[in-house]
Structure 1
Amino acid sequence: MPAIVASIVSLKGGVGKTTTTANIAAVAADTYGLRVMIGDADPQGHLSDWFGIKRSPGMGFAELLNPPDSGRIDVRAALQQPDPEVPLWVLPTSYLEMEDVEVKLSTVPELGGIWSMSRAIQPLLNDFDLILLDTRPTLGNLTSAAVCASNVVLPITEPRLPSLQSTLAAVAKAERIREKQNASLVVGGWLLNKWGDHEEADKVKGELQRREVPVFQPAIYTGEYIPKAYIWGNPAVWQFPNNRGAHQDYKPLVGGILTSFGLVAA
């Protein structure tokens, strides 16, 4: 069975797309034993930082999408495995090269445009159970290419109304891509991140209920342990496995996501 490819999306920066991608991947691989690849499709490259790895010169996501003059590189050679005992690999990126790709996807037809990312990861589909793509908070070429390469998009929001509106815009973009380019794309359940118990959070939940939007549980609450883990170059679920906001919350969340993908039994 080919890998499920999923993108976590929002048009607002700082909602925790990268943090969530890293922790979902870590639980899926370490706890559930799935073969997982995560692609750092955001030029900021913070997903790579979460695992304490750096791109080898000339061997990253950007070079897969925009091959050097010497020819197309082997996607498997660009992957890095943070922990040899965990079946998880990272396809890292770098800022300048990926920003260059963002522009060239519109100006160089040979790169494949919106289909470029799908073409780049195609050789990996039978090597993994789950491929997660971290996206940037824009409606640009890289985000569109990630959504076009995906089977599922997972919207993510903070408990703030502007965050909700930004994520609704990302979902609308995904639905246009489904209509015109990727008919098999599914908009999955929403992820609630940096959560808190306050009036605006209740309003966000109420709006999601009004729209009959499926939401994965539990919400990941704001806590001190998740950002601290970044300093150590580890996802929070690895660095602080016994703390709320880390493994205790992510494990049931990831279980629900993987069940919805058909990757683990209910």
Structure 2
Amino acid sequence: MAIKLAVLSQKGGTGKTTAVRHLADMFRRAGLRVAAVDLDPQGNLSDYFDVDPAADPTIRDVLTGSAKAKAALHVAPDGVSVIPSNLQLAEAEVALAGKMGRELTLRRALKPIDGDFDVIFLDCPPNLGLLTVNALVAADQALLSAEAQYFALQGVEQALEVIELARDGLNPDLQWLGVVFTIADMRTVHSREAQASLKAHVGDKLLDTVVRQSIAYAESAERAVSIIDHRPDLGADYLALADELLRRLELTAARAQLKPLLDASQDGAPAR
């Protein structure tokens, strides 16, 4: 069965979708069968994977029951299978709100593809509403993204409250994998203080790897390519983050396969 990993934040601009895009790519390079589900009506993850904007069916159709998850999988150019999203997903969220057992909709929908993948990433919308709750009820693990700024801790605490609600109600086995610190410039006092504040509150749940701030991520999104292909030096951040997550997930064989790429990035990445 696939490990289903929900990636969430309490607001936009925390690098969440960028994290999903690149972790999916790094896990694929580690030899894992990877899928990504875009649960954001903005469809940014779908765009970042260069999925055809006219791709049909989408996650909206899966959640409303008009299509099966397997039919909605579209293979991105880099080999990751994506269930895409578009603005029509907002309509589906409204429709779901009036249904009995609405929080279980995604879990049930993904069950038929559970055996086809090793990891399924769930990119949550940048809020803590019904689509995010569906992701947490469907997930085995939750990963939080936190931007390197003053309100990072507040956002993490709010996201943790929703994780606890999902645990208490419908998914008691949900695990909190950790918090990834993104869009960081560790040369600034502000970023260092924000990191220290998070560390003081969440301890070893704060991942060691810090994802550096760079305009190169916007450039790679515009080109719909992975950062490791666009800027290999920055790709080192996500290779290190992927290695850390694979260790926490106890995916030893995948870690071994990723190691040559990780070693090469650490040995050869030019200074930024």
The TM-score normalised by the length of structure 2 is 0.88
Deviations 1:124-158 (A, max 9, x none): 11110000010112121101101111111101101
What SS is found at the alignment partner of 2:142? strand
**SS, match of residue 204 in structure 1:** helix
1:78 correspondence with 2:72: yes
2:47·2:53 contact (CA, 8 Å) conserved in 1? Answer: no
- Corresponding residue for 1:100? 91
Q: CA contact under 8 A between 2:55 and 2:84: conserved in structure 1?
A: no
1:23 corresponds to 2:22 = yes
CA distance in 1, matches of 2:85, 2:39: 7
Separation in 1, partners of 2:226, 2:127: 24
Instruction: Provide the C-alpha distance between the structure 1 equivalents of 2:162 and 2:7, rounded to a whole number of angstroms.
Output: 13
Count residues with an aligned counterpart: 252
Contact 1:81 1:89 in 2 (8 A): yes
- Contact 2:152-2:194 within 8 A present in 1 as well: no
Q: What's the CA shift string for 1:207-257, capped at 9, x where partnerless?
A: 2222224222320111132111011111212333x22x2x21111110110
| CA distance in structure 2 between the partners assigned to 1:164 and 1:258 by the alignment | 25
Tell me, yes or no, if structure 1 residue 194 matches structure 2 residue 193. no
Q: Verify the 8 A CA contact 1:19 1:235 in the aligned structure 2.
A: no
Shift of 1:36: 0.2
| Aligned pairs for 1:1-266 within 5 A | 2-30=1-29, 32-56=30-54, 58-67=56-65, 72-83=66-77, 87-95=79-87, 97-109=88-100, 112-197=101-186, 198-211=188-201, 212-240=203-231, 242-243=232-233, 245=234, 247-265=235-253
Over the aligned positions, Cα root-mean-square deviation in angstroms equals 1.6
Cα distance, 1:203 vs. partner? 2.2
Q: Look up the SS of the partner of 2:207 in the other structure.
A: coil
Gaps of 5+ in 2: 256-272
Quick one: distance in 2 between partners of 1:164 and 1:118?
29
Q: Give the superposition deviation at 1:195.
A: 0.6
Identity of aligned residues (%): 27
Q: Deviations over 1:27-55 (max 9, x none)?
A: 1102x010000000011100000011125
Distance in 2 (CA, whole Å) between partners of 1:163 and 1:209 is 11
Structure 1 residue runs of 5 or longer lacking an equivalent are none
Contact 1:34–1:87 (Cα < 8 Å) also in 2: no
Q: 1:120 offset after TM fit, Å?
A: 1.1
C-alpha distance in 1 between matches for 2:8 and 2:156: 7
